């Protein structure tokens, strides 16, 4: 057992034991994790052939690549244009106003001609309004036009006005109608600066198809050319907003930790160099963040554990928990590091072979369930550092989730020997973790034609099976190292050839047989309430070992017909001898380095009960004697097992002393005894419920009745020879 040297070491170091233990744990944890995150010196150059696959050492944004994608996204944005319908209406109005002015000039010219004809004699020729005069009149009309619209009319060539003045009214109306139709039609479409010439050219072609004279077509062409203008303009603000939205929608180009930048045997190109520059891997200085993270996670684990064990009042128990946790997690780290050394791209899933459920399972059994859950959680955290090079890959996510799930499954098993749990342990430790591995692989897009899939499944199943086999095979050896009452030790102590039991049989045979009877009764009762049956049996074997010192002063060891030696002693002297079998037994068991629980049951099996017989005798001699003087030193039973032994011990001794014990008498006595013990407060600390006391009562009654049942007295049978002789005599007569 390591528990004995551990106690000596704790006593020697005193208050420095836990600080030194945690310091060592911190150094070991940090050292193992450092070996995984430590970066090699690099000197990558463009054109160099990679001797091994180069993976990203951290997760960062490739800002240059992100900006390039953003620029491409902005360039791909279609510019936003705004169609202004009011421009079409304005152009229509301008054309109508133009014809109104032309009509005014034509009408004024006609009136002027009429006046000239009236004024002239018949013989005189009338000089009509000339074309120049009409143009001058037109200019006067234009002077009345709004300055904003004047530029439009000035753009119309003089030839249009000359044609308009020469055409008949019907022909001019045709020009107006066709011009407005074509202009309205084209202006109803979106005319941008880029397609303005195309729109005008289409309109010219349309003019050529009209059923008009050449002069009319020419006039229409002039109007169409000036009437069709840009009515759709670039919305720069909206376009800029769309470009910004397009840039914002671009996901950042990330380089994920563990991502392969250059594969082994491939040439390092400019793109790879750019990524390596972003990662800082072309520089020889190393990032200090992983090392800071190692220190923080190591300290966090220690702080969480200290906070977790702080409520434990027993210093020895708290220190034992710390030792067990530290050793278990150190072994877990070593195992993970071992599998990490064999991890390559071809066997990326080899870490699944790690028995992730074993350490939480062991802590659940030998410390408590919460420590197992704590170990399962920190196994995952530490695995992130151990498999640092795989961070950011699908492989690591499968490894971490499998570790977490397997570890938690190990803590869900009942806290009893795993070999006794059969199918349940196989389901929790093997089947369920293997199924979660299959689910994760399916989620990643499983390909059963890929050898990696079968390697992953094989490693996962092997890791789960290994956890179960280690839990079953190593349980008793771990128990032997960390406890003084392991099954191996208890089985050795239960051997009838053990020197102490042989001595008890030889020097106190009555006590030996009494101990065997109490062991059977107690072990059966404890088994029925779910206690430690084997421990109870062994403790019963040795619970009266103190009677060896004065064997003949206990009635069960007196020879047939011998007088009770207590008849010659004072009650006070007899009390000391009877009390002594407890204290002497405890001293002897401690000397023999017996398990502490065996010693405790020996010390507690009488509790603080009253030695009634000698108390009454002393009371007759001295009325001032008190009960406290004749009560066992105790303490009262502190465990269920000790409580059962205290009841069974008294029941067996009393029933053995009964005259003609019957089932009814045994049943009544056991019930009364348990009630008396409860009323006397002897079972207050035994943690036994009323339901369990009923089960114990029934078990003890059944055991005592089957052992001490009344036997039928058969008449003495004559020998076969005498029967034959009588038959011969009768036949001879």
Extents of the domains making up the chain: 3-37+286-482, 81-120+137-234, 495-707
CB 258 within 8 A of CB 390: yes
pLDDT of residue 674: 93
CB 544 within 8 A of CB 511: yes
CB 208 within 8 A of CB 216: no
Q: For the structural domain made of 495-707, what CATH number should be given?
A: 1.10.3210
pLDDT of residue 285: 52
Q: Is the peptide bond before 543 cis (omega within 30 degrees of 0)?
A: no
CB 464 within 8 A of CB 352: no
**Terminal Cα-to-Cα distance of the chain (whole angstroms):** 83
Angle ∠(483,486,487) on CA atoms, nearest 5? 175
- Does the pTM surpass 0.95? The reply is no
Extended strands (E) in 107-198 = none
CA distance 567 to 265: 100
DSSP symbol at 639: S
pLDDT of residue 600: 93
The low-confidence residues of the chain, meaning pLDDT below 70, are 1-4, 38-43, 57-58, 121-126, 257-258, 280-287, 345-346, 390-393, 446, 561, 709-733
Token code pair at residue 455: 């390697």
> Which residue from 354, 355, 347 is spatially nearest to 455, judged by alpha carbons?
347
- Using only C-alpha atoms, the chain has a radius of gyration, in whole angstroms, of 54
> Which residue from 551, 733, 484, 531 is spatially nearest to 645, judged by alpha carbons?
531
pLDDT of residue 258: 66
pLDDT of residue 557: 72
Question: Which three-class secondary structure state does DSSP give residue 55?
Answer: strand
- Beta bridge partners, 631, equal 610
Token code pair at residue 323: 């030792």
CA distance 473 to 485: 18
| φ, ψ for residue 234, nearest 5 deg | -65, 125
């Amino acid at each position: 057992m390591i528990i004995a040297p551990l106690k000596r070491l704790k006593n020697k170091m005193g208050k420095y034991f836990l600080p030194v233990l945690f310091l060592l744990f911190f150094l070991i944890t940090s050292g193992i994790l450092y070996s995984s995150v430590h970066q090699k010196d690099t000197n990558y150059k463009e054109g160099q052939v990679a001797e091994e696959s180069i993976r990203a050492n951290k997760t960062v944004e490739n800002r240059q690549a992100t900006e390039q994608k953003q620029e491409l996204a902005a360039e791909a944005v279609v510019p936003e244009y705004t169609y202004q319908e009011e421009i079409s209406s304005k152009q229509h109005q301008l054309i109508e106003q133009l014809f109104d002015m032309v009509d005014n000039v034509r009408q004024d010219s006609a009136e002027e001609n009429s006046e000239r004809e009236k004024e002239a004699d018949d013989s005189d020729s009338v000089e009509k309004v000339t074309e120049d005069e009409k143009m001058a009149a037109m200019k006067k009309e234009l002077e009345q036009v709004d300055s904003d619209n004047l530029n439009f009319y000035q753009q119309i060539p003089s030839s249009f006005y000359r044609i308009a003045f020469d055409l008949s009214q019907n022909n001019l109306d045709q020009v107006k109608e066709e011009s407005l139709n074509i202009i309205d039609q084209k202006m109803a479409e979106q005319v941008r600066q880029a397609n303005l010439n195309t729109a005008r050219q289409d309109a010219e072609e349309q003019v050529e198809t009209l059923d008009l004279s050449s002069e009319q077509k020419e006039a229409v062409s002039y109007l169409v050319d000036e009437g069709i203008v840009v009515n759709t303009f670039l919305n720069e603000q909206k376009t800029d907003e769309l470009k910004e939205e397009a840039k914002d929608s671009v996901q950042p180009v990330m380089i994920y930790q563990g991502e392969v930048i250059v594969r082994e045997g491939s040439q390092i190109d400019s793109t790879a160099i750019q990524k390596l520059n972003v990662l800082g891997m072309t520089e020889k200085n190393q990032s200090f963040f992983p090392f800071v993270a190692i220190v923080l996670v190591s300290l966090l684990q220690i702080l969480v554990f200290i906070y977790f064990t702080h409520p434990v009042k027993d210093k020895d128990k708290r220190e034992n928990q710390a030792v067990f946790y530290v050793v278990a997690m150190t072994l877990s780290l070593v195992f993970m590091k071992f599998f990490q050394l064999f991890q390559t791209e071809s066997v990326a899933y080899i870490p699944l072979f790690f028995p992730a459920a074993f350490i939480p399972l062991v802590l659940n059994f030998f410390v408590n369930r919460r420590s197992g859950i704590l170990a399962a959680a920190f196994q995952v955290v530490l695995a992130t550092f151990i498999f640092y090079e795989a961070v950011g890959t699908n492989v690591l996510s499968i490894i971490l989730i499998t570790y977490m799930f397997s570890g938690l499954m190990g803590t869900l098993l009942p806290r009893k020997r795993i070999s006794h749990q059969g199918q349940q342990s196989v389901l929790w430790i093997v089947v369920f973790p293997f199924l979660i591995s299959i689910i994760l692989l399916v989620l990643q897009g499983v390909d059963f034609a890929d050898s990696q899939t079968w390697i992953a499944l094989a490693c996962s199943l092997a890791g789960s099976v290994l956890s179960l086999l280690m839990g079953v095979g190593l349980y008793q050896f771990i128990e032997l190292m960390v406890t003084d009452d392991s099954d191996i030790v208890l089985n050795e102590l239960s051997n009838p050839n053990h020197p102490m039991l042989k001595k008890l049989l030889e020097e106190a045979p009555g006590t030996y047989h009494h101990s065997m009877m109490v062991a059977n009764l107690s072990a059966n009762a404890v088994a029925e309430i779910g206690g430690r049956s084997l421990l109870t049996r062994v403790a019963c074997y040795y619970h009266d070992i103190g009677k060896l010192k004065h064997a003949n002063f206990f009635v069960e060891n007196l020879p047939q017909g011998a007088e009770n030696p207590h008849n010659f002693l004072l009650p006070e002297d007899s009390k000391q001898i009877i009390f002594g079998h407890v204290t002497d037994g405890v001293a002897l068991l401690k000397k023999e380095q017996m398990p502490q629980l065996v010693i405790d049951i020996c010390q507690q099996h009488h509790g603080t009960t009253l030695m009634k017989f000698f108390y009454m005798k002393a009371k007759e001699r001295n009325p001032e004697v008190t009960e406290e003087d004749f009560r066992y030193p105790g303490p009262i039973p502190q465990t269920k097992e000790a409580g059962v032994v205290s009841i069974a011990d008294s029941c067996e001794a009393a029933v053995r002393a009964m005259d003609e014990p019957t089932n009814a008498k045994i049943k009544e006595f056991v019930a009364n005894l348990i009630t008396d013990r409860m009323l006397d407060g002897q079972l207050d600390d035994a943690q036994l419920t009323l339901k369990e006391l009923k089960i114990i009562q029934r078990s003890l009654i059944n055991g005592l009745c089957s052992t001490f049942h009344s036997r039928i007295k058969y008449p003495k049978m004559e020998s076969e020879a005498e029967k034959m002789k009588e038959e011969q005599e009768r036949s001879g007569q």
